[in-house]
Amino acid sequence: MTALFNRLKETNAKEWASYVDHEFIRQLAAGTLPKKAFQTYLIQDYLFLIQFARAKALAVYKSQNLKDMHAAEQGLAGILSEMELHVRLCGEWGLSEAELEATPEHPTTIAYTRYVLDCGVSGDLIDLLVALSPCVIGYAEIARRIRPEVESISGHPYAEWVSEYAGDAYQTIARDTENHLDELAKKYVTEQRFADLGRIFATAARLEADFWQIGLRASQ
């Protein structure tokens, strides 16, 4: 059987494409995305990552062995270091960390993060990891794809953002996340279970597409 993550992607190709080929990403890659769209997105993304860090911590709680715990720990460390990018970029715009934290969460931010947290609370470790998987693996895929276009434009306004996700550290975490999920699936995922996981995956991918929309709507 094809490894779990690729199979989830293939089975939910439409939802996956709506996320990784979103208009927000096309404009971002071309450097034409309005600054207001990007800033609104990034502030919400900071709030999003606070909740995703909690979800990674929940993955430690849901783990029954050292290997799964270390995988969750690596994911949590990745999110905390990713947030330094958000704090740095927002700081350049004159926004402090306190102001970031005081910004109200957009309904889509709430929907996506609490959905993932609930998958983890009500389900097992695999439910939670599948709900989390579009996040890190999707951003790694997007950044790899758009990097050549971004690097071909001198003074690209979003170069720093893209190089964070296209960089070795982030790409390694994404690869390890995918391999870990595939390994767990080999041991525990039956055909019957696959259908339920597919629904979780499709929902998370749709919520990722909605998340880009927060940015686009802010600039219209």
Ligand X SMILES: Cc1ncc(CO)c(N)n1
Active site residues: 135, 208
**Beta strands in the chain, from DSSP E residues, in sequence order:** none
Six token digits for residue 104: 């109200």
**Is the distance from CB of 55 to CB of 78 less than 8 angstroms?**
no
**Least Cβ distance, residue 27 to ligand X (angstroms):** 17
Binding site for ligand X (CB under 6 A): 45, 48-49, 82, 135-136, 139, 208, 211
From the CB of 187, what's the least distance to ligand X, in Å?
A: 26
* Residue closer to ligand X (CB basis): 68 or 164: 164
Residue, CB closest to ligand X? 135
Nearest residue (CB) to ligand X, 47 versus 189: 47
Closest CB to ligand X among residues 136, 197: 136
Q: How far is CA 217 from the centre of its chain?
A: 20
- Rg for the chain (alpha carbons), in Å? 17
Structure tokens at 154: 């001198």
Closest contact distance (angstroms) between CB of 154 and ligand X is: 26
- CA 129 vs CA 13, 28, 57: distances in Å: 19, 28, 12
